[in-house]
Amino acid sequence: MPEGTKHPATQHMLDLFEYKHLPPHLAAVSAPVFDIAHRMADSLESGPELTTGLRKLLEAKDCFVRQAVIDSRQS
C-alpha cells in the first residue's frame, strides 16, 4: 500500500471516530479518543490487531459518550 494510505478496514474504523457532528459537550468527550485512534493508526502497521484495537477503542468511546449523555440529563 502506498505511504500514507490506510487499509480500507483501518480507514473505515477511523471514520467512525469522527466527532464534529456532535454537540460540544459530547465532542469534548469524543475528541481525545479520536486523537488516540489516529495516533495508533499512524504509528502501527495495518493488520487484524490494529483493526481489533480500534474496534474496542470505538466501543469504549461509545460508552464514554453514553455516560456523558446520562450525566447531562441528570444536571
DSSP string, 8-61: HHHHHHHHTT--TTS-HHHHHHHHHHHHHHHHHHHHS--SHHHHHHHHHHHHHH
Predicted local distance difference test score (pLDDT) of residue 68 = 98
Predicted local distance difference test score (pLDDT) of residue 75 = 79
Predicted local distance difference test score (pLDDT) of residue 58 = 98
Q: What is the DSSP code (8-state) at residue 75?
A: -
Which helix H or strand E contains 1, and what residues bound it?
none
Predicted local distance difference test score (pLDDT) of residue 1 = 65
Where are the chain's structural domains?
Answer: 8-74
Weakly modelled stretches of the chain, pLDDT under 50: none
Predicted local distance difference test score (pLDDT) of residue 71 = 97
